[in-house]
Amino acid sequence: SDDGVPGRVRVAVRLRPRNAEELAADADFADYVELQPELKRLKLRKNNWDADTYEFDDVLTEFASQKRVYEAVAKPVVESVLDGYNGTVMAYGQTGTGKTFTLGHLGEDDTSSRGIMVRAMEDILAKISPETDSVSVSYLQLYMEAVQDLLVPANNNISIVEDPKTGDVSVPGATVAEIRDQQSIVELLRLGEAHRIAANTKLNTESSRSHAILMVQVKRSFTGREDALSSEIDNSSHLVKPSKPIVRKSKLVLVDLAGSERVHKSGSEGHMLEEAKSINLSLSALGKCINALAENSSHVPIRDSKLTRLLKDSFGGTARTSLIVTIGPSPCHRGETSSTILFGQRAM
């Protein structure tokens, strides 16, 4: 397979295990989703004799561990970021299907349950050299087209700045925290999550209605030959004169997207309607950009939303992008499941 090929979005699907309520409601409700992980296939049953079949880069069953999910979905992107390229990992799906568990779970009681954010930071910390390299993060929330700093929530409505020469995207109004160890990333994510809940309570909305974005900046310095950009520097080339170090900056963006469920516009009014419109705008803009990449189209409509503007330099081009779509097992969500699967399919 074309693991981590730049310019193409890798798409995995993950099924959440049944929760207590679902188990209690019906011990053997008909499995309308059938996963064939070896074949990387998912079947969506239409009735007793007919099903639609979809293929993904990875099919992660309810038994897939967090480690397995990290390795399939995020590790290739993290490795490419360590080599100096930008990358994005996003989770898309209906509220309650496991986006936050997949990306943001802290696993403080059980380290095996840690999600992608902690694992990615741990991987980066393990591979960079503390004397010459650095890693720092900003943690943002995007709600109704406003960017808010989750580390210092008073920083709200922050501008997204694009360097006219390099095209690099930055959010200079947000706090940048340098990370030196795994404990500090866990603390920082916990703080960000607490601020996210508090900010949303104040706005009378739920965290599931905003996008949470962890922006990780990696700065590495490579010494040796010009082309020795990988950490394996060829020690046998004695003839090469040591040159001054090459500094490479790269960015990893981890996005826990707002719930993709369609809010019934007919029943919503005022603020709720505006909120629904804003989520629809950003997710559909994201969908259009992903489709454009999948179709190799020269026009990627990145400016249509703040979400896609934030992702501009970590999406397409030489950047690597991985999307995990999450679905639930309950047949009462089949409409949402089916639209989530179609979103994932259009990315391929």
- Total residues contacting ligand ADP by CB under 6 A comes to 12
Decide if residue 97 touches Mg ion (CB under 5 A).
no
Q: Which residue is nearest to Mg ion (CB)?
A: 100
Q: Which residue is nearest to ligand ADP (CB)?
A: 98
75 binds, among ligand ADP, Mg ion, none (CB under 5 to 8 A by kind): none
Measured from the Cβ of residue 285, the count of other Cβ atoms closer than 10 Å reads 20
**262: which DSSP letter?**
P
Kind of pairing, strands 87-93 and 320-327?
parallel
- Virtual torsion, Cα 306, 311, 315, 319, nearest 10 deg: 170
Decide if residue 115 touches ligand ADP (CB under 6 A).
no
Measured from the Cβ of residue 270, the count of other Cβ atoms closer than 10 Å reads 7
What mask of x and - would describe binding to ligand ADP in positions 198 to 217, judged by CB under 6 A? ----------x---------
Measure CA 41 to chain center: 22
Decide if residue 141 touches ligand ADP (CB under 6 A).
no
Q: How far is the C-alpha of 319 from the C-alpha of 8, rounded, in Å?
A: 9
Query: Which residues, listed in sequence order, are joined to residue 91 by a DSSP beta bridge?
Result: 256, 324
Decide if residue 260 touches Mg ion (CB under 5 A).
no
Give the DSSP H/E element, type plus range, for residue 44.
strand 41-45
Q: Which tokens is 185 given?
A: 């990333």
Selected binder of ligand ADP within 4, 76, 84, 93 (CB under 6 A): 93
Q: Which residue has the tokens 């949303």?
A: 200
Cβ atoms of 70 and 119 within 8 Å: the answer is yes
172 binds, among Mg ion, ligand ADP, none (CB under 5 to 8 A by kind): none
305 binds, among ligand ADP, Mg ion, none (CB under 5 to 8 A by kind): none
- Is the Cα dihedral 2, 9, 264, 25 positive or negative? positive
- The stretch near Mg ion (CB under 5 A) out of 97-105, 167-175, 224-232, 294-302 is 97-105
What mask of x and - would describe binding to ligand ADP in positions 49 to 88, judged by CB under 6 A? ----------------------------------------
97 binds, among Mg ion, ligand ADP, none (CB under 5 to 8 A by kind): ligand ADP
What mask of x and - would describe binding to Mg ion in positions 119 to 138, judged by CB under 5 A? --------------------
Plot region of 221 (φ>0 → left; ψ -120 to 50 → alpha; else → beta): beta
What are residue 131's phi and psi, to 5 degrees?
Answer: -75, -40
- The stretch near ligand ADP (CB under 6 A) out of 94-102, 120-128, 236-244, 312-320 is 94-102
167 binds, among ligand ADP, Mg ion, none (CB under 5 to 8 A by kind): none
For residue 293, the SS3 value is helix
For residue 42, the SS3 value is strand
Decide if residue 245 touches ligand ADP (CB under 6 A).
no
What mask of x and - would describe binding to ligand ADP in positions 322 to 341, judged by CB under 6 A? ----x---------------
For residue 101, the SS3 value is helix
Q: How far is the C-alpha of 319 from the C-alpha of 317, rounded, in Å?
A: 5
96 binds, among ligand ADP, Mg ion, none (CB under 5 to 8 A by kind): ligand ADP
Decide if residue 330 touches Mg ion (CB under 5 A).
no
Decide if residue 130 touches ligand ADP (CB under 6 A).
no
Q: How far is the CB of 54 from ligand ADP (least distance, A)?
A: 20
For residue 226, the SS3 value is coil
Decide if residue 282 touches Mg ion (CB under 5 A).
no
Residues forming contacts to Mg ion in the complex (CB under 5 A) are: 99-100
Q: Which residues bind ligand ADP (CB under 6 A)?
A: 16-17, 93, 95-101, 208, 326
